[in-house]
Structure 1
Amino acid sequence: MDNFTYINSSLLISHRPLNSSQTDKTVYAICAHIPAGLFFYLSLGFLNMFLGIPGNVIVLWLIQKKRRESSTSDIFIAHLSVLDVCFCLIFPLEFASIVYLTTSTNWYVLRFFYGVKDFSPLFLSCISLDRYLAVMHPIIFTKLKDTWHRPVCIGVTWFVILVCSAGKCVGTFPDFDRVFTVMILTVFVFMVFCNISILRALRQSAPGRDKRHPIKKKACKMVLIILMIVVFNYLPPVVLYPFQDYFSPDIFKCYIQYIVFGFMDLSSVIQPILYLSQGKLPACCCSGVENDTERANADSPANA
């Protein structure tokens, strides 16, 4: 076993030992010979803290303020914002643990919050499913719109997140990296499928018309942006993780993983900025369909 027995990105690749500290060096000292990746990661961490926290708090305030006018996906967005705020708040402890601290106690707390961030894509998949039903299956969507399905889905999602985070914290799951890999691959494929399906449906012109409906045209552009963000945030770990053995331990654990997961964690900033700049976060394309279902259905048989 090498001396890289810690983890300080949102993806668990290896654990810092739970029983003792195997090195009196800080993470920064271990990676001092190639610090570029670490500097990049910490810079994005500061960005997450100073922009992600106020951004997500504003999103929560807007959703609460416009509760009666909100779309069905806003409830998932609100819980995702709570999760992102919690993750952004741990950066001071993470920074101290990387640069100054050599104790192992602080890594219990960090591992728990890393687990919370690890499974945040579950809420994104809920948003994608909600949008998919609104666009592709509006009849089913209308029947489920005011039922108990969403609160139950949220409760189950939080249960999975907290249980897995607690297991990651105490080291209950020896193969947690494999659990995460299966989860992130499954969720990634699911989100891409949903968004591509929505995009294709919204890009279809109505029969006998030269231009798409303005609502659909706006929604199509927004879904394309969301799809690009999903790929930007989650494709790098999906692609690089299976090939980590092709890199030297120093390069992978001090350089590549910090750059890759720095971009992944940047979703805590990108999503609230998208919500605030467009009026709705990932739910915007669905809200257009929800608020004007009859017109959207008249425009395209794909929405019927």
Structure 2
Amino acid sequence: MESNSSAFYGVPSCTTPPPVNATAFANATTKPFSVFDGCEQMVEGILFDLTLQCINVIVGIPANLLVIAILISNCKNPSTSDIFLGCLAFMDIYFGVMTPLSLINLYHWHSKDVWSAIKFSYGVKDTSGPLFLSCICLDRFIAVLFPIMFSQLKHVKYRVSLSVLVFCLTFAYSAAKVVGGLPNFEKVFTGEILATFTWMIICNVCILWALKRSRGVGKNEMHPMKKRAFKTVLYILMIVVCNYLPPVALFPFEDYYAPDVFRCSVQPVGFAFLNISSTIQPLVYLVRLDKVPFLPESCVQKFCSCTSAESNNKTSEAKTPAA
């Protein structure tokens, strides 16, 4: 398995040089670059992944741009995790911008140089998303469970240093992905996604448990700030489960699938859930805001009124006894 779709977009993971006397025959019979190369009978998984990547372009890019604009507007009173959120949004925008180039190259250009750039963007998505989300979970974990230590580590230099480390790991992984031919390279991504998934689950569960326990004796209501933090962590946990559980559940069992089934069906579907996080993550951030800047107030009020009306209808239906 070569991570994030590079194994099934018409490019083999490793290439063996042909014999000298067969070069002319190979040049004459070289198949054109095709998105469905070797998967002509099992195209559903690939189309599913490409469809979700198109959603990233239509919805994800504007949503991430709005997130960055909001973070910039709040720079005078920033949250400690804002730098991680900004880096994550920037990387998701980069990945979304590469999708149209990927589609054009797959069906029209057939350029190996463009394909190398696309493989680099897949490496960025493979690494940056899980690592920056892990940084956000680490930040919230220390803030809730170790508040004294958190107050000593609130300076922005610590988060900048951690972000630089993530960028270095991301670019190193992406460059190695473009070069290719490294032994057992696909296991790097499997190990990374398993480790980050486990870490994020542990962090979020510990945070939720600590916030639930902090109500105090005889108190039924949680403090408003802690309640907001509880909802934030709960949203992050939902993102982690929805986007990262499918590849975590599928990819370690690669040997149990037929090679073509895994490459053409299982792998693209697993990465589709990972790739759509470029849209889900900014939308979850925007939903958590009390007020969304840069949007007309009428649109926000209309959305809120529709949401409240729908919730009221569901509540009344639930309270109405069945006939």
TM-score by length of 2: 0.78
Please tell me the residue identity of whatever aligns with 2:78.
S
Cα 1:12–1:216 shift into 2, 3 Å: farther
Please tell me the residue identity of whatever aligns with 2:262.
F
> Over aligned residues, Cα RMSD in angstroms?
2.6
Runs of 5+ in structure 1 lacking a partner?
A: 281-304
Please tell me the residue identity of whatever aligns with 1:127.
I
Question: Is the contact made by 1:129 and 1:194 (CA closer than 8 Å) also made in structure 2?
Answer: yes
Runs of 5+ in structure 2 lacking a partner?
A: 18-26, 291-323
Question: Is the contact made by 2:145 and 2:207 (CA closer than 8 Å) also made in structure 1?
Answer: yes
Give 1:58 deviation, angstroms: 0.9
Give 1:9 deviation, angstroms: 2.3
Query: Counterpart of 1:68?
Result: 76
| Among 141, 153, 156, the residue aligned to 2:165 | 156
Please give the secondary structure, in 1, of the residue aligned with 2:5.
coil
Give 1:98 deviation, angstroms: 3.6
Give 1:175 deviation, angstroms: 2.3
Please give the secondary structure, in 2, of the residue aligned with 1:211.
coil
Cα 1:133–1:11 shift into 2, 3 Å: farther
Give 1:206 deviation, angstroms: 1.1
2:43 equivalent to 1:47: no
2:262 equivalent to 1:252: yes
Q: Which runs of 4+ in 1 moved over 6 A?
A: 10-14, 18-22
Query: Counterpart of 1:298?
Result: none
Give percent identity, aligned residues only: 41
Please give the secondary structure, in 1, of the residue aligned with 2:217.
coil
Give 1:103 deviation, angstroms: 4.5
Query: Counterpart of 1:229?
Result: 239
* Residues 194-227 of structure 1, C-alpha deviations (whole Å, 9 max, x = no match): 1111011111221122222233233323322211
2:284 equivalent to 1:274: yes
| Among 69, 93, 114, the residue aligned to 1:106 | 114
Q: Which has the larger radius of gyration?
A: 2
* Residues 255-291 of structure 1, C-alpha deviations (whole Å, 9 max, x = no match): 22222211110110011111111129xxxxxxxxxxx
| Among 64, 73, 87, the residue aligned to 1:79 | 87
Of 28-37 and 253-262, more deviation after overlay is shown by 28-37
| Among 103, 116, 132, the residue aligned to 1:95 | 103
Counterpart Cα distance in 1 of 2:120 and 2:235: 31
Cα 1:171–1:29 shift into 2, 3 Å: closer
